[in-house]
Amino acid sequence: MRIMQPPLLASSFPDMEITSNDEWVSVTPVYKGRWRIAYIQPYEGGNELYGDGLHYPQIKPFWIGAKFTGDIHLAGGVKYAGKGE
């Protein structure tokens, strides 16, 4: 999974300029550890079933949570200049 970071705004309010000159940064984290399922629970929202049962099967959505134990290493990012144009 790659993480993309857009240019950040200046921290001082009077000059709200983009401080990074329109450079995006891409970081690919390295996961060293173990993933496992933390929970499974039914979705508690408006529609209980999705699909009409004819053209698409009726499904009942649910949430799945994951737990990661280990280390996440974020190496130096790669700059992409002019990504926002």
Give CA torsion, residues 27, 33, 36, 39, to 10 deg.
-70
The answer to whether the beta carbons of residues 24 and 80 sit under 8 Å apart is yes
Q: How far apart are CA 58 and CA 82, in angstroms?
A: 44
Q: How far apart are CA 20 and CA 27, in angstroms?
A: 16
pTM above 0.85, yes or no: no
Q: How far apart are CA 49 and CA 62, in angstroms?
A: 11
pLDDT in tens, 36-66: 999 888 777 665 777 777 888 888 888 889 9
